[in-house]
Every structure is written in C-alpha cells, then in structure tokens.
Amino acid sequence: MSLDEAGLHRKLQLQELEEIRLDSYENAALYKEKTKAWHDKMISRRSFEVGKKVLVYQSRLHLFLGKLKSRWVGPFVVTKVFPHGAVEIQSLELGKFLKVNGQRLKLYYDGFQIEGFESILLSEPIYED
C-alpha cells in the first residue's frame, strides 16, 4: 500500500467517523423530542376555582421522621388563580394568604353529603312452627 492510498483510506475513515457522530447527535435529539412529548402528555393539568378548598403538600416535613405522618396540610381556600399555574390560597385557621405552585395542591373533599335519603329499619324474621 502506497502513501497516497493510505492517506486516502485515512480520509475516508475520518469522514465515516464524522457521519457516525452526526447521526448520533440527530438520534439523541429525536430521543429527547419523543421523551418530552411523552412527558408532556402524561402531565395532568389541574384547574382550581376561586372558593374551592385545597390541601397543600408540605415538602419540608421530611425533617421530622415519621412514615405515617401526612404530608398534606390544610384545608385552604383558593382566593386567586394566576396564569402559568400559580395559586393564591388563604388559611382557614390563621387567615394568612400564601402564593404556591399549583402542582403542590390537590382538591379537598369535605365528605359526602347525603340529602333526601330514606331509612328502612330491619326487624328479625318471624318463624312459625
């Protein structure tokens, strides 16, 4: 193999290496786009209305060890909803206003209120011998 042929062979190898590198960049970009689309699809958008009760996730509670302690604090009342997910809430106990991220909130249900129900008393069956 002469020097000219070896130089030409080396140039071809370098070009192939550059093509492989560019393909890997392109594949990484495609993977990131697909992963972002899947992630965005899986995010559930929560909408809060003024006057509704919510619970706030307390992330600082991990300082106090306790597996069975609830990390949800509240209830609070929504006073204002800002664009891009920020929510202003008011404490029912203290009356203080807080501005929190909407991802830290979930709706609070007081419980089921049953109206207009009828009760039936059951008695023991009478057996005749």
Domain assignments of the chain as residue spans, ordered by start: 1-43, 53-107
- What is the second-level CATH architecture of the domain 53-107? Roll (2.30)
Q: What is the mean pLDDT of residues 119-125?
A: 77
Count H helices, E strands: the chain? 1, 5
Question: Among 3-7, 21-25, 120-124, which range has the highest average pLDDT?
Answer: 21-25
Q: What is d(CA 129, CA 124) in angstroms, rounded to the nearest whole number?
A: 16
Q: 112 falls in which pLDDT band (50, 70, 90)? A: low
**Per residue in 54-92, pLDDT tens?**
999 887 756 656 677 778 887 899 999 988 888 999 988
- What is the predicted pLDDT for the residue at 95? 85
Q: What is d(CA 68, CA 3) in angstroms, rounded to the nearest whole number?
A: 76
Q: Over the chain, what is the mean pLDDT?
A: 85
More confident residue, 121 or 79: 79
Q: Is residue 83 reached through a cis peptide bond, with omega within 30 degrees of 0 on the bond before it?
A: no
